[in-house]
Amino acid sequence: MRWERYSYAIPNTAGSPARAFWFAAWNRENCFYPGTTAPTALLIDPATGASLIQNPNGTTSPAPPCPSSGQLFNTTPGNVNYYAFEPRVAATYTVNPDTVLRASVGRYAQAPSSTSQEFNYIQQDLPSQLAQFLPYGFNTPYHEQRPEYSSSYDLSLERRIHGTNYSYSVTPYYRQTYDQVQLTPVGPQGIFSAFNTDSQTNYGLEFLFRKGDFAAEGLSYQLTYTLNESKVRYNDLGSTGQNAVDVLNNYVQLYNSYTGNCGTGTGPGSPCGAYGTAFSAPTFPAADGSTVANPYYGKKAQPLFDRNGRYTPYDVLPSPFSGATGYNVPTTIALIVNYKRDRWTFTPTATFVAGGKYGSPLTWPGYDPATCATAPAPNTATGVPCGMLLIPDVYTGKFDAQGAFVAPSRLTANMQIAYQIDNRVNVTLSMLSLIDQCYQRGYVWDNAMNCQYGQLPSNHLAPVGNFVPLATAPIQLRYPYGVYGNPTNNGFVATRMPFSAFVNVNVKL
């Protein structure tokens, strides 16, 4: 039986009198209305000081009352405590000298991170930074992050084949995680914060087959196989009534409003949501008085993603040009062989990994015809100042789902040779990447040297979209996905590794 208490001291953020001024000013001029991709709406006309609201569809009207959840308050709780009750039980049963059964059931908790409990800044204009968190249900410097829980179950059969040096074990497992913390990029600078929003299910099977003893003379080896399936369902973010999928759908609905195929509904589940048919026009006037053609008019409205669906888990939630790589690998096979003869030991190893997924609906930009300063050339906006939308991937014709693509399978093999000169001196030769092969999936952005794909290397490095003709675009920005070289998050080196060899001489004094 296990019980834990996590206690956090939340510092005061009162600051100087200037900070109170900035909070009052922000609340007078701004309000957040849930269900939009814009972080705030204007309550005051900056030119005249008159009361208004700038709606997500770009029109103005008298300001409706602002809900308290759309305003910012400089309050903190001082101290917060979280509690976790974690009962666990395990059992072992010996069937006979060659066979053992094991089982365990338990509840586990992970301590909340201290970095996401509160956000503060040196500058006194704190509200301008806190406003980024309004779409996630936080309107004070304190951002509650609770412990995440998991209920885990596993059963194992461990057996030695009678009269031999062969043995094997089979372990099916199941884990359900509640209130799981999800890393999320927030705001235009991509500040990473973490929110309790996931319910994740993991289940699979582990298998191990072993022959012999690696320390004994002769041949021995070990083969392991892991099959794992992971799916995540997103819960609401804070008190917003929206989850991570709703945030993605906001971008889809904004695009749909330009297509002229929204239908009559304007609710959260309709093709255009709060945007309605405001942008359903074949042309728009440019700032210089010319006419801008709407390249999306007449195209089909894109379907929304299922807010209650189960998706491939990602290390970082998808956001514009960020968070397009999953971390689940469904299949892993590893083989270790050891042959020992007198003073020599030969140990080849091989690993095969397959099935990781990636993809995001927010990777392909398009120009916003309602914001162009002058009329662009047909279907491109080269050299013309225009705002940006997120539009369907030009290579698939749709907003790519989370986990839409499968990463290359990868086979690696290494070799180690050791020679014991005497009781004091040992020489080892290690040869790495004798084989390092990535088997591509046939996507247009595939590259034979790449083994892991995701968003382009920077949160702010976008592909060209329809701003530039693809034929003239630099190869690095021609596709929505590229090599994803961040092993910190996904545990993989993204490119094929060159062959390397090392010799170690160990001497006992």
218: left (phi > 0), else alpha (psi -120 to 50), else beta?
A: left
Q: Is the pLDDT of residue 486 over 70?
A: no
Answer for the pair 181, 145: CB distance below 8 angstroms, yes or no: yes
**Looking at residue 215, what is its pLDDT?**
87
Q: What average pLDDT is seen over the chain?
A: 89
Q: What is the pLDDT of residue 67?
A: 81
Quick check: helix, strand or coil at residue 488? helix
Which range, of 9-13, 244-248, 391-395, 429-433, averages the lowest pLDDT? Answer: 244-248
36 has pLDDT over 50:
yes
Residue 330 tokens read as 């469904």
pLDDT for the residue 488: 56
What is the reported pLDDT for 263?
65
Q: Which helix (H) or strand (E) holds 7?
A: strand 3-9
pLDDT of 443 > 60? The answer is yes
Instruction: State mean pLDDT over 243-269.
Output: 82
Question: pTM here?
Answer: 0.86
Q: Which of 35, 273, 24 is nearest to 135 (CA)?
A: 35
Confidence of residue 460 (pLDDT cuts 50, 70, 90): low
Region 320-324: mean pLDDT is: 86
Convert the pLDDT of each residue in 112-162 to its tens digit.
888 889 999 899 999 999 998 888 888 999 999 999 999 999 999 999 999
Residue 407: its pLDDT value, please?
93
170: its two tokens: 């089979």
Q: Which helix (H) or strand (E) holds 231?
A: strand 218-234
Domain boundaries, the chain: 1-213+225-240
Burial class (CB in 10 A: 0-12, 13-18, 19+), 104: middle
Has residue 8 got a pLDDT over 80? Answer: yes
- Residue 170 makes CB contacts below 8 A (sequence gap 6+) with 156, 157, 205, 206, 207
Cβ pair 398, 302 in contact under 8 A = yes
Distance (Å) of CA 481 to CA 126, 253, 462, 468, 493: 35, 23, 10, 17, 16
Give me the pLDDT at residue 56, please: 47
